[in-house]
Chain A
């Protein structure tokens, strides 16, 4: 468990969250923040009445205007998961408002909009619904209670006799009723709640839900069909100019030796070349060409002659990183223990058989469709940053570092994200925007070219894993050593709370490189070592890519479990079911995982028919994301493998247990998108480092899944009634191992490196 995620036995800790009106917490920036989020240009769905004085603010999370419009302020990044709409749905359930009255807007980085559990503005981990469910429910209920009491006073009837439905409060005996709009207009809804009063509110039970569990129309979707949704790249400020970054040939560590702008000066509209001096060390060796239009900035950037010192990483390649990873794994004293159960060394001594295998994954690039961008503007003491970002708390601090001011002077104006996938947890894009704006004294919008975006990605790191398993005479696993060597993306953040203490208290490790390795299988003697590849850490500053560690840990675990099953002569699905016996700490979770596996097996017809030659089905099951925040997910992949080694995916059958469904259609969309991400990573996406730089620069060489490559996908969502879990990521992680296991069953080729290529499959067939 990661220390910052506070979980109790029954779920996410209900921390005391002050949802009453609170003053701004950021001192002199208060004025800027107060103006900030309500003046973001083009924010969708904001009703003009929002600014009216007589509105009712039952909590920081929403306001009700005198016309009855309920505007929810979402502190989460909306990047395609429709999270603002989901928050509105949870609030509407308890508030009793009509869905047609709901509107959404995105929060600034004012700390009052921090996540009630995480205490910061960060969107990731498939955590948002789970961790905000209680706070949004209570906020909605508080509003309903306040409105009901005001209506009771107006009508002269007891509040207990009132019913709330579709934004109307009615009294059946007297046939009196008032709309939310009328109550707000009356000015009588003024009740506020202390944190204790909020905590004491009795929330609805699931059988009383009328909104949660319904696939209401997502509030952001219409704007995404007519061009009106505003992303960071769409921000236009008066007097704004444009910046195009000249990127060094080395991913990280280069320094600028000289900049010759003589040719750039001939480009019409060219303003200035700004060498970025990044005290936050987020970037190295960047120069921004500033001009009156983006096209001219691009021309000027091409005309700049920049010379570099390539720095310490200029000769490194993917091969160097892998060689170093192998070296580190071979050392007895490498890394820190994430899991240390029993005594694996002793157990290996008694094992009937020991099996070892190595699994690797190549570098992967986020490549959201909207390239990174940010617009920076200084007004008085305040820096305004306009960008779509997943971690406003940290990115605001990075922007502040670039500006040389205290973070309280930075207002982050959240925009829609044209894809996040973890890329926008980073704040690098704010650095050239702020420094260019400072240098030219105007608002500057910096837009990365696709080439900039790909070569300067905070990528999923290259990983190397070795698993050594000992089995008894029946083929049952009695010992397992699992070493995970990678860059540590979360360590790069420099926030100690995001590190996980090693089990032997010898230091903090990056749990986001080993989550998943602490699986729900019963293995009495089990070690997991997290090993930092410092060379990769320096050369390829890595980030969190959709699903993060479980994207590689389950690749290794679920491949190895399959290998062990075959070695024992057992059906791989039944072998897993036997290991998911739910003893000790695995109780409950193991059974839920088993059930999803059974569901996927049933839906796919696993084991019920003879498949044609060259075809196979493979299974995998995962407890992504973290052990404490798992959505239980299983996949049966059905493939056909040609003699050439080419793999055709015939069908992916995915079953996932999410506890409670807020929006079934959205869950389906997220699980399908995640599964196809998993497929894309498994078969089509590969980035490589050469001479310190990422070789792939655009969608001709880095090639995510296209429509013609989409197989049939069948999805079963199980809602067992437990708390709502996340759905954006888990299905990513289950696909690659299910495919590799299916390939083995189809043709006997065991592939242990991602992405899976036809050459690797063919090579393994011969072996």
Chain B
């Protein structure tokens, strides 16, 4: 009976050790924001964070997630107001929306490390996430917008301190 730390909560789940983390999250914990797309790590719809790194949850056995900090789209922000989520709404990114949880989680792992990515860095980081509606250009714009707003927020703080 693995114990998982997910979105800040400790949860005990009933699953064989080799069960993909994706299905534990979706079926047992009924957190369905993380999506099944290909089951082979080729599309990125199932992306979650493991200790802050973007990971394909369809490729990770639940036993390998024990003792690590798991974050899903439901836990990315308290009220769905992560700068990326706000930017996704501002740029009206989603069409069908199915891949977007994975896109946002993949993007969040980039901005956590790189607050000022170039367009090329965005593309390189996001190329493993398929969007069949082809919302790619809006995804790019939203990531750059969120990065900019995150920088402004932190710079703003600095400026206030300086004056």
Contact = CB atoms under 8 A, between A and B. Distances in A.
B52 interface: no
Contacts of A707: 123, 126-127, 129, 131, 136, 139-140
A562 interface: no
Contacts of B38: 450, 698-699
A225 interface: yes
Contacts of B101: 227
Contact of A369 (B34, B93, B99): B99
A700 B95 CA distance: 24
A269 B40 CA distance: 24
A591 to B, nearest CB: 31
B58 to A, nearest CB: 10
A218 B93 CA distance: 10
Interface in B87-109: 88-89, 92-101, 104
Nearest to A701: B42
A418 B99 CA distance: 8
Contacts of B26: 234
A447 B23 CA distance: 12
Contact of B104 (A225, A268, A294): A225
B126 to A, nearest CB: 5
Contacts of B95: 80-82, 669-670, 673
Contact of A268 (B16, B85, B126): B16
A705 B94 contact: no
A295 B96 contact: no
A481 B89 CA distance: 50
A225 B34 CA distance: 11
A73 to B, nearest CB: 20
B98 A368 contact: yes
B137 interface: yes
A234 B98 contact: no
B45 interface: yes
Interface in B57-95: 72-74, 80, 85, 88-89, 92-95
A221 B23 CA distance: 25
A419 B92 contact: no
Interface in A432-464: 447, 449-450
B151 interface: no
A621 interface: no
A217 B92 contact: yes
B27 interface: yes
Which of B15, B85, B93, B133 has most chain A Cβ within 10 Å?
A: B133
A447 B58 CA distance: 15
A293 B42 contact: no
A294 B23 contact: yes
A665 interface: yes
Contacts of B20: 295
Contacts of B36: 233, 371, 447
Interface in A525-571: none
Contacts, number: 163
A221 B132 contact: no
A705 B96 contact: no
Interface in A699-741: 699-700, 704-708, 710, 713
A466 interface: no
B108 to A, nearest CB: 12
B145 to A, nearest CB: 13
A217 B131 CA distance: 21
Interface string A206-230: 0000000001011011111111111
Nearest to A670: B95
Nearest to B72: A227
Nearest to B43: A699
Contacts of A419: 96, 98, 132-133
A369 B23 contact: no
A229 B127 contact: no
Interface string B1-40: 0000000000000011001100100110011111111111
A293 B131 CA distance: 27
B111 interface: no
A444 to B, nearest CB: 14
A713 B123 CA distance: 16
Q: Secondary structure of the B side of the interface? A: loop
Nearest to A699: B42
Interface residues of A, number: 60
B150 interface: no
Contact of A80 (B45, B97, B126, B139): B97
Contacts of B80: 222, 225-226
A368 B137 contact: no
A661 B137 CA distance: 22
Contacts of B43: 369, 450, 699
A368 B132 CA distance: 6
B134 interface: yes
A164 interface: no
Given A450-B38, A707-B139, A229 B97 contact: yes
B54 to A, nearest CB: 15
Contacts of B123: 707-708
A370 interface: yes
Contacts of A673: 95, 133-135
Contact of B92 (A218, A236, A680): A218
B30 A220 contact: no
A637 interface: no
Given A369-B130, A370-B35, A698-B40, A221 B137 contact: no
A689 to B, nearest CB: 21
Contacts of B137: 672, 710, 713
Nearest to A445: B27
A416 B127 contact: no
B134 A227 contact: no
A743 interface: no
B76 to A, nearest CB: 8
Given A419-B132, A665-B92, A707-B136, A450 B40 contact: yes
A450 B45 CA distance: 12
A79 interface: yes
Which of B26, B72, B134 has most chain A Cβ within 10 Å?
A: B134
B40 A224 contact: no
Nearest to B126: A707
A82 B92 CA distance: 11
B127 A226 contact: no
B47 to A, nearest CB: 12
A323 to B, nearest CB: 32
Contacts of B74: 226-227
A672 B137 CA distance: 9
Task: Name the 8 nearest CB pairs between A and B, nearest first.
Answer: A227-B33, A224-B97, A418-B98, A80-B95, A80-B96, A226-B80, A676-B134, A224-B94
Given A223-B97, A369-B43, 9 more contacts: A226-B33, A227-B32, A228-B33, A293-B27, A370-B37, A370-B98, A669-B92, A706-B128, A710-B136
Interface of B: 15-16, 19-20, 23, 26-27, 30-40, 42-43, 45, 72-74, 80, 85, 88-89, 92-101, 104, 123-124, 126-140
23 contacts: A80-B94, A217-B92, A222-B89, A229-B97, A231-B35, A293-B15, A295-B20, A369-B35, A369-B99, A370-B37, A416-B97, A417-B96, A450-B39, A669-B92, A672-B134, A698-B38, A699-B38, A699-B130, A700-B42, A704-B132, A705-B136, A707-B127, A707-B131
Interface of A: 79-82, 215, 217-218, 220-231, 233-234, 236, 242, 268, 293-295, 367-371, 416-421, 447, 449-450, 665-666, 669-670, 672-673, 676-677, 680, 698-700, 704-708, 710, 713
